[in-house]
Chains A and B, each alone.
Chain A
């Protein structure tokens, strides 16, 4: 989700900057183009003015041209190119045929002889035009005559050319923009690829398939990979350290409790059985509290997001062997029926502890036989542990996994075992339920998430 957001953010940023850059470029290029062709038009008008100045002839009061202006557009009514000669009061004296039945209205600009003026006006056809006006003094007999010369060109064609250029420019820049956005999408994808690889790597660490992030990464990403690996190592080390310290503490406490127990046995030999019983009871209860707290501490240290594929068969064999080494386990018949290739998504230590607690409980209560079956059921593995012991009345079944609750006060045990089993199962997203076994005793039915290997089969 974050990776997507980053991709969207990078793409949005690049799209915005590309659009802004292209818009600025479009405005700039368009302005340059307009300026350029307006300069061309102004330069053409300057040439026309020079020609007109050269052709003006004054004879007495009569103003005429010594010959017609060469451009044929002057001869066509509304021919887009115009000239006109005004007296200083603004009254037209002479004009081109193209002006036809109208005049070039220049208004009343401040004109200084010898200084040409460029201005916009409306031509006889009623469209905008660019005009060049120049006030000149002509020799006329024994005096001078001041005349205002005007040349003007319709800028319609120019405006069409500018509009057409802008249209072409817009489609060109639009296409360029799309190409740049696609290119930046490719760039972002390539750039984010190492992050996707890290995400996959972390996923594999979570699923228990690898311990650290491996492989080659770009120089910029390598420090992050190294930091993640260092963090993983430090986390592993601190969990290991905490567990070792907790185990050492338990070892120390239980050694002292053993001494206390042995002293109690001596008291019993000296006819002080009551005190001995109290001491032994206390030491047993303390030892069980230590075991329970150790088990809880271990459970809480465990990463809940991590996934496993722990083989059930070897774990079951190990615990059956361990329970069979005890006098209770040795005396029972063990029937194990579990498919050989089942795997569970369960912390290996949790699985051992869970099976240990449940099989030990079954061995403690069974008369002769314990039956264990395990089978895959979709995404879960169902393990059933049956014994042929006295079982538990239906009304009491719900009390079984309650912490410290004992339904039998005679047989050794704290009642914490099944509570720990329940905690392990809950933490690992499974379920445990107790009922009456077909053999007559208790049935513990576990439903636990299957490991990746079982699901792949």
Chain B
């Protein structure tokens, strides 16, 4: 799950990215509005954390531009002003949630998690696919009640497939959503990762559709 953090304050940006990474996300940071706008339009993010007070291009204008050009990525806006006028304008411009500064980092992570889940059509914090249950708050996977220990990268893979259960996810999509932009896209790391997870699950929960990609069925395992 990749999240774009558009925040001009270096300390806040770094702390948000760090917390999101710890929560199992791949976080990209950007401080410049124009560049952030371009990245939001061209890269496949699962959520965007957008500060409204950005230099060069303000957050509200940027958000409207994204929505006009068809970017449907869920956006959490951060606002320092906290007036209902600004919050209302943010929601009208296409934001999915807002958080007023100063916020607690745990709150931000929980909101981002909820946004990503909702965008994938999952309402509950624990996503279930057959015997598999993914607790997005605890970052824990269990199979028939038995906890499965996963590395961060493995967790991201399973989380992405669980969020999009019942849909075939291509290898390119996985690369796009699991790794930073500068990742070598020709490597066979996804195949290696899938192999490792399958071994840990000891089931055929992750199916391979040759020539298409991978799938966790809604009634998997």
Which residue in chain A gives the minimum CB-CB distance to B105?
A265
Q: Decide: B11 and A262 in contact? CB cutoff 8 A.
A: yes
Cα distance A355–B53 in the bound complex, in angstroms: 24
Q: Which 3 A-B pairs have the closest CB atoms?
A: A356-B84, A254-B80, A257-B102
The reply on B106 being an interface residue by CB < 8 A is yes
Cα distance A247–B83 in the bound complex, in angstroms: 10
The reply on B97 being an interface residue by CB < 8 A is yes
The reply on B187 being an interface residue by CB < 8 A is no
Complex contacts, A265 vs chain B, CB 8 Å: 15, 19, 104-106
The reply on B175 being an interface residue by CB < 8 A is no
Choose among B9, B19, B83 the residue that contacts A258 (Cβ–Cβ < 8 A): B9
Question: Within the complex, what minimum Cβ distance (angstroms) separates A427 from chain B?
Answer: 16
Starting from the known contacts A254-B101, A287-B102, A321-B92, 15 additional A-B residue pairs (CB-CB under 8 Å) come to A251-B53, A251-B81, A255-B80, A265-B104, A266-B15, A280-B104, A283-B102, A321-B91, A322-B88, A325-B96, A325-B98, A327-B110, A352-B88, A357-B84, A360-B84
Question: Within the complex, what minimum Cβ distance (angstroms) separates B116 from chain A?
Answer: 14
Cα distance A247–B91 in the bound complex, in angstroms: 20
Within A268-289, which residues are at the interface with B (CB < 8 Å)? 280, 283-284, 287
What are 26 contact pairs spanning A and B, CB under 8 A? Answer: A247-B81, A254-B81, A254-B82, A255-B101, A257-B102, A258-B101, A261-B103, A262-B11, A266-B15, A280-B104, A283-B102, A294-B83, A295-B83, A298-B83, A318-B88, A319-B88, A325-B91, A325-B95, A326-B97, A327-B110, A327-B114, A349-B85, A352-B83, A352-B88, A353-B83, A356-B83
Q: How many residues on B have C-beta within 8 angstroms of the other chain's C-beta atoms?
A: 31
Complex contacts, A321 vs chain B, CB 8 Å: 88, 91-92
The reply on B149 being an interface residue by CB < 8 A is no
The reply on A204 being an interface residue by CB < 8 A is no
The reply on B111 being an interface residue by CB < 8 A is yes
Cα distance A355–B83 in the bound complex, in angstroms: 11
Q: Decide: A257 and B101 in contact? CB cutoff 8 A.
A: yes
Cα distance A284–B104 in the bound complex, in angstroms: 10
Cα distance A280–B82 in the bound complex, in angstroms: 17
Q: Decide: B102 and A260 in contact? CB cutoff 8 A.
A: yes
Question: Within the complex, what minimum Cβ distance (angstroms) separates B21 from chain A?
Answer: 14
Q: Looking at chain A's contact residues, is the secondary structure mostly helix, strand, loop, or mixed?
A: helix
Choose among A287, A294, A298, A322 the residue that contacts B101 (Cβ–Cβ < 8 A): A287
Within B90-126, which residues are at the interface with A (CB < 8 Å)? 90-92, 95-98, 100-106, 110-111, 114
Complex contacts, B35 vs chain A, CB 8 Å: none
Cα distance A262–B12 in the bound complex, in angstroms: 7
Question: Within the complex, what minimum Cβ distance (angstroms) separates B129 from chain A?
Answer: 24
Which residue in chain A gives the minimum CB-CB distance to B10?
A259
The reply on A453 being an interface residue by CB < 8 A is no
The reply on A291 being an interface residue by CB < 8 A is yes
Q: Decide: A254 and B102 in contact? CB cutoff 8 A.
A: yes
Cα distance A122–B97 in the bound complex, in angstroms: 116
Cα distance A254–B81 in the bound complex, in angstroms: 8
Complex contacts, B95 vs chain A, CB 8 Å: 325
Question: Within the complex, what minimum Cβ distance (angstroms) separates A72 from chain B?
Answer: 108
Choose among A261, A298, A318, A355 the residue that contacts B104 (Cβ–Cβ < 8 A): A261
Which residue in chain A gives the minimum CB-CB distance to B76?
A325
The reply on A250 being an interface residue by CB < 8 A is yes
Cα distance A247–B101 in the bound complex, in angstroms: 13
Question: Within the complex, what minimum Cβ distance (angstroms) separates A120 from chain B?
Answer: 96
Choose among A250, A280, A352 the residue that contacts B81 (Cβ–Cβ < 8 A): A250
Interface size class of A (residues with CB under 8 A): 35 or more
Q: Decide: A319 and B84 in contact? CB cutoff 8 A.
A: yes
Complex contacts, A291 vs chain B, CB 8 Å: 82-83
Cα distance A23–B12 in the bound complex, in angstroms: 89
Complex contacts, A284 vs chain B, CB 8 Å: 102
Cα distance A357–B87 in the bound complex, in angstroms: 12
Complex contacts, B80 vs chain A, CB 8 Å: 250-251, 254-255, 258
Choose among A287, A327, A353 the residue that contacts B85 (Cβ–Cβ < 8 A): A353
Complex contacts, B53 vs chain A, CB 8 Å: 251, 255
Known: A255-B9, A321-B91, A325-B97. A262 touches B105 (CB 8 A): yes
Complex contacts, B90 vs chain A, CB 8 Å: 322
Complex contacts, A251 vs chain B, CB 8 Å: 53, 80-81
Complex contacts, B81 vs chain A, CB 8 Å: 247, 250-251, 254, 294
Cα distance A37–B82 in the bound complex, in angstroms: 96
Question: Within the complex, what minimum Cβ distance (angstroms) separates A289 from chain B?
Answer: 12
Cα distance A319–B88 in the bound complex, in angstroms: 6
Q: Decide: A318 and B91 in contact? CB cutoff 8 A.
A: yes
Q: Decide: A255 and B83 in contact? CB cutoff 8 A.
A: no
For B11, B19, B83, the residue with the greatest tally of chain A CB atoms inside 10 Å of its CB is: B83
Cα distance A247–B63 in the bound complex, in angstroms: 21
Question: Within the complex, what minimum Cβ distance (angstroms) separates A424 from chain B?
Answer: 11
Complex contacts, A357 vs chain B, CB 8 Å: 84
Q: Decide: B84 and A322 in contact? CB cutoff 8 A.
A: yes
Q: Decide: A356 and B11 in contact? CB cutoff 8 A.
A: no
Which residue in chain B gives the minimum CB-CB distance to A248?
B53
Cα distance A355–B84 in the bound complex, in angstroms: 8
Which residue in chain A gives the minimum CB-CB distance to B87?
A322
Question: Within the complex, what minimum Cβ distance (angstroms) separates B156 from chain A?
Answer: 22
Question: Within the complex, what minimum Cβ distance (angstroms) separates A442 from chain B?
Answer: 19
Which residue in chain B gives the minimum CB-CB distance to A265?
B105
Fill in one digit per residue for A320-348: 1 if any B CB lies within 8 Å of its CB, else 0: 01100111000000000000000000000
Fill in one digit per residue for A347-386: 1 if any B CB lies within 8 Å of its CB, else 0: 0010011011100100000000000000000000000000
Fill in one digit per residue for B145-187: 1 if any A CB lies within 8 Å of its CB, else 0: 0000000000000000000000000000000000000000000
Choose among A262, A295, A322 the residue that contacts B98 (Cβ–Cβ < 8 A): A322
Q: Decide: B103 and A258 in contact? CB cutoff 8 A.
A: yes
Fill in one digit per residue for A395-430: 1 if any B CB lies within 8 Å of its CB, else 0: 000000000000000000000000000000000000
Complex contacts, A298 vs chain B, CB 8 Å: 83
